[in-house]
Amino acid sequence: MSAGSSDLPAGLEWLGFLEKIGDQDDATGWSLWIGGVVVALLFNATILWIGAWLERRYDRELAAMEAATAAVRVFTGRPPAGSVGLPHLVQASIVMAPAPLGRLMLLIRRIIGGRVVTRQRDLQRTRRLALLRLRQQACDLGAGIVAGVEFCQIGLGRGRFAFLVSGTALIGAQPAPAPEVTEAVGAEPPRRRRELVIALAMLILVAAATVELDYLVDTYLGNFWKRWILRIKD
């Protein structure tokens, strides 16, 4: 048993390494903290970069699938004049469930206020995917126009939503040269750089708060714990 851990009560000898760390000089302690903060920042920045890369890849895949069904014209109102085809009801649905991190961000926004940009982007992406499924059904039926498209959003609780989309497909109708009603009208463009900067700033603030809290705990609570709880004398 080491000399540093001889004053520890029976059964707590394994806490001797904490005393060894505490006996180090301030420069070594700060270097350890700075190294830990840098490692934590690099780790979280890597996770954020991987998440942004996966999100961009999914957006590219979704755009490719939309391009494959671009021949189907979608209208929220009546079809263009002269469009003739056999009407057929088409509908699609999809359920969106947020990730645990998304629920945490939503809870924080409810406390401090403001809009959750990532949440809005997830809703917009889910809406596009539901409309894509509707287009695929129209393609399978041989329809070139889907008119009277309506969206219905149903809350399922705990941040989950169900999107229902329906419309009338005109089988045999050729796509008209009229402009298509896109599914991204009014959507806020993604701001990945700003979100990344905010996330890194929050990580730095959390790291600084952790260092300050550790100093306070080590200065006040640590001495109280050693002297009155563990009965360790200097």
Q: Can you give the three-state secondary structure of 101-161, one letter per residue? A: HHHHHHHHHHHHCCCCHHHHHHHHHHHHHHHHHHHHHHHHHCEEEEEEEEEEEEEEECCEE
* More confident call, 218 vs 133: 133
Give the range among 123-132, 156-165, 182-191, 196-205 with minimum mean pLDDT.
Answer: 182-191
By mean pLDDT, which of 61-65, 112-116, 162-166 is the weakest? 112-116
Span 113-139, average pLDDT:
81
Distance (Å) of CA 82 to CA 55, 78, 87, 96, 135: 41, 11, 14, 38, 21
Predicted local distance difference test score (pLDDT) of residue 140: 86
Query: What's the chain's average pLDDT?
Result: 71
Judge if 146 and 219 occupy the same domain.
no
* Same domain assignment for residues 14 and 26: yes
Question: What's the CA gap between 163 and 153, in Å, rounded?
Answer: 5
> How many Cα atoms occupy the beta-carbon half-sphere of 219 within 13 Å?
6
pLDDT bucket at 222, cuts 50 / 70 / 90: low
Average pLDDT estimate for 68-76: 83
Q: Are residues 125 and 173 in the same domain?
A: yes
Say yes or no: 79 and 178 in one domain.
yes
Q: Which helix (H) or strand (E) is 22 found in, with range?
A: helix 16-22
> Mean pLDDT over residues 9-22, rounded?
56
Q: How far is C-alpha 148 from the chain's CA centre?
A: 33
Q: Do both 169 and 110 map to the same domain?
A: yes
pLDDT above 80: residue 62 = yes
Total domains in the fold of the chain: 2
- Cβ atoms 158, 95 nearer than 8 A: no
What pLDDT, on the 0 to 100 scale, is given for residue 219? 61
On whether both 36 and 102 belong to a single domain, the answer is no
DSSP code of residue 219: I
**pLDDT at residue 186, as a whole number:** 41
Asked if 37 and 50 sit in the same domain, the reply is yes
Mean pLDDT for the stretch of residues 65-93: 83
Question: Are residues 165 and 77 part of one domain?
Answer: yes
Torsion sign, CA atoms 109, 113, 117, 123: positive
**Section 40-48 average pLDDT:** 76
Q: Within this chain, do residues 46 and 82 fall inside the same structural domain, yes or no?
A: no
CA distances from 213 to 36, 119, 219, 222 (A): 15, 32, 10, 12
pLDDT at residue 182, as a whole number: 45
Whether 188 has a pLDDT exceeding 80, the answer reads no
Tell me: do 99 and 153 sit in the same domain.
yes
pLDDT score recorded for residue 87: 86
Least confident among 14-18, 85-89, 146-150: 14-18
Last residue of a domain, one of 188, 203, 220: 188
Q: Tell me the residue range of the domain where 102 lies.
A: 72-188
Task: State yes or no: pLDDT of 153 exceeds 80.
Answer: yes
- Is-above-0.85 flag for pTM? no
